[in-house]
Amino acid sequence: MNSIEICGLTKRFGSMTAVDHLDLRVKEGECLALLGMNGAGKTTVIRMLSCQLCPTEGDALILGNSIRETPARVKELVALSPQETAVAPNLTVRENLELIAGICGAGKKEAAEQTEELLQRLSLQEAEKKRAGKLSGGWQRRLSIAMALIQQPKVLFLDEPTLGLDVLARRELWNVVKELKGKVTILLTTHYLEEAVALCDRIAVMNRGRLKALGTAEELMERTGCRTFEDAFAQLAAEEGKT
């Protein structure tokens, strides 16, 4: 079964077309990377799928629910970890998690239990009483992902989740994503190609709002005749015209 079905999704801002008739299907439990140069339309896709932007044309179904017709239902199924860390700076780590759990409908006791579980799962216990604004970038990023996970989403959007992290912090977050694979459908945007290869089942390459290629890293290398994925990506991302 498909978790995400995107049909002709288009977004225009004035005369600029950010996403151009995108068609894409993501299977339940699959981790799909959305790659592209800056301005390719990756974040706009995520903003539409998380019901923050209304498509100009087309539609997408999240577990059968239209982002146009039933955004309230879609919002109960998805969670977003934006490019920025998106935390409440004067709240502690624990309070940030309880805030999101509460907003998503958990009672006080339930929110506390979910928070406890997430603190352990993402090794955040030692920072739980620290204010989020005082944490380092790596800790804030980890908290940001925990805040998305506490929503218990069926579909998780990770917009450049490891941006600005050091190698070790990035590896830790990779482990979290690997653990989620199969249980949660993940749509991930990144500029780190090795991240897409290491984590994702399939990779979609976008260029100027259009889908240029879709497949596993091996398939994309084979298709372009390149020996490395970086070369394959560079070739696909630079190509003109529609695939």
Partner 1 sequence: MRIRIFGLRTAKEILRDPMSLIFGLGFPLILLGLLTLIQKNIPVSLFEAAHLTPGITAFGLSFLCLFTATLVAKDRSGSLIARLRATPMRSIDFFLGYLLPLLPVALLQMGVTYLAAMLLGLEPTLHILPAILAQLPLAVFHLSCGILCGCLMDERQVGGICGALLTNLSAWLSGAWFDLKLVGGALERIAFLLPFANATEAGREILAGSTVSEKPLLICCLWAFAMLILAAIACKRLTSVR
Question: Buried b vs exposed e over 132-151: b needs ≥16 C-beta within 10 Å?
Answer: beebeebbbbbbbbbbbbbb
Report which DSSP code applies to 35: E
* 136 scored as a contact of partner 1 (CB under 8 A): no
* 138 scored as a contact of partner 1 (CB under 8 A): no
* 36 scored as a contact of partner 1 (CB under 8 A): no
Check: CB of residue 156 under 8 Å from CB of residue 185.
yes
Report in angstroms the alpha-carbon separations of 65 from 60, 70, 84: 8, 6, 27
- 157-196 residues in contact with partner 1 (CB under 8 A) are 157
* 238 scored as a contact of partner 1 (CB under 8 A): no
104 or 176: whose CB is closer to partner 1?
104
Interatomic CA distance for residues 47 and 157, integer angstroms = 9
* 78 scored as a contact of partner 1 (CB under 8 A): yes
13 or 238: whose CB is closer to partner 1?
13
Q: 53, 118, 145, 197: which one contacts partner 1 (CB under 8 A)? A: 53
Q: Pairing relation of β-strands 2-13 and 185-189?
A: unpaired
Name 177's bridge partners.
none
Stretch that binds partner 1, among 45-53, 185-193, 214-222, 228-236 (CB under 8 A): 45-53
Phi, psi of 129 (to 5 degrees): -95, 0
Shortest Å, Cβ 32 to partner 1: 18
Stretch that binds partner 1, among 25-33, 93-101, 116-124, 186-194 (CB under 8 A): 93-101
Positions in the binding site for partner 1 (CB under 8 A): 47, 50-54, 71-72, 75-76, 78-91, 95, 99-100, 102-105, 131, 147-148, 151, 157
